[in-house]
Amino acid sequence: MTPVQVCRGDFNKGAGIQNKESKNKHSGRGEAALKKKVLLAVSGGVDSSVAGWLLKEEGYEVAGVTMCLGVRDEGIKTRCCGRDAIEDAREVCGMLDIPHYVLDYVPLLESCVIDKFTREYRLGRTPNPCIDCNRYLKFGHLLKQARAMGFDYLATGHYAMIEQKENRWVLKKPRDSGKDQTYFLYPIPFEALEHILFPLADLTKEEVREIARKACLPIAGKAESQDLCFVTQESYGEFLRERGCPVEPGPIVDRSGRVLGEHSGTVFYTIGQRHGLRISSPCPLYVVAIDAVRNSVIVGEKRDVYASALIAGDMNWLTPDRPREAEGKIRYRKRSSPCTIIHDGDRVRIHFSEDQDAITPGQAVVLYSGDEVLGGGVIEEVLRSTTHS
């Protein structure tokens, strides 16, 4: 996985733009920027591009790197981090006048992300591959490679904040709460925080686009990618079928086991789903569980979707102490809710103060104390109270 320098250019168009924020405001490292070397993960999008511009303004010695994830077996292109994105990243790095490297991460994507994605669906779970990409690729292999190449920091265009609290570094929510990406970043190793920069921590998305326009960056108006980068087919089902995952029809049953209809494959369903069931019923029905062993989808009324507790494993903690109280978030767009935590080795049992809608095995539960991320893990089991039986 030897890096290949592919471009170096000029940034004259962006010269003279005044950053309204104070020097070193965005990196959160104060005067540490002087002569420090930063490897910036450049995706070809507006966020990472502006992150690079800010780092240059703060005085860092910056180089860009793009993880090539774009061509899988048989030359299939992915939606992002492919050749088009690499060309965009090359152009941006040229304007920033920084070196640009391209690393072949296709094998790592396969082994660390796609294989797990397929395996989780086989088990009837709903995985979050973006979290695994951060865990294993960006803040795993790429961070280690950055350090091995002599860089002091790895920077990305994520909307998150790293600050020093007493004698340790903490991961916190960014200023723009609507773009908060800390849910996807909880797996960052505790000891790695001091080597990571998030230059967009104090900016809103609108401010980022404005900086890009003023700097004449070619991607100022580029749309954000909303799809999984490695799924190029029309549906997850088609992708999973091609990878040998069984996608077969089976029964849709109620909680007593009575057959109500037929599904086209459990991979097309997730907890809390209402649409696509094709079942006639006097009241709306929702997916409450998936039984991969029996290839069945279990449905119930809305109240059956709620649960008050869960068991999570594969925990990553960003605090030296193990919290017993926190606010837990069970999906990216869900609001966090107060909870208590019972520790059992590497697993935890989390009890919420109020019932949660659609706790889903395979998704992450992330724990917060105010704006600070305490840690998180993968939901393994849903625990429902007797009132929901």
Catalytic residue, candidates 81, 229, 245, 339: 229
What confidence score (pLDDT) does residue 73 get? Answer: 45
Summarised one tens digit per residue, pLDDT across range 116-162 is 999 999 999 999 999 999 999 999 999 999 999 999 999 999 999 99
What confidence score (pLDDT) does residue 27 get? Answer: 61
Q: Residue range 260-282: average pLDDT?
A: 93
Q: Residue range 344-373: average pLDDT?
A: 97
Strand arrangement of the beta sheet that strand 286-291 belongs to? 259-263, 250-253, 296-300, 286-291
Choose among 314, 312, 293, 301: nearest CA to 124. 293
Catalytic residue, candidates 81, 112, 133, 339: 133
Choose among 58, 59, 83, 60: nearest CA to 70. 83
Q: Answer yes or no: 133 catalytic.
A: yes
Q: How much helix, strand and coil, in percent to the nearest 5, is found in the chain?
A: 30, 30, 40
Q: Is 97 left (phi over 0), alpha (psi -120 to 50) or beta?
A: left
For each of the domains in the chain, give its residue range(s) and CATH number, in order of start: 4-214 (3.40.50.620), 248-300 (2.30.30.280), 306-388 (2.40.30.10)
Summarised one tens digit per residue, pLDDT across range 193-214 is 999 999 999 999 999 999 999 9
Q: Residue range 328-348: average pLDDT?
A: 96
What confidence score (pLDDT) does residue 20 get? Answer: 38
Give CA–CA dist 227/77, Å, rounded: 13
Contact 364, 131 (CB under 8 A): yes
* pLDDT > 90: percent of the chain: 72
Give CA–CA dist 253/256, Å, rounded: 8
Q: Answer yes or no: 7 catalytic.
A: no
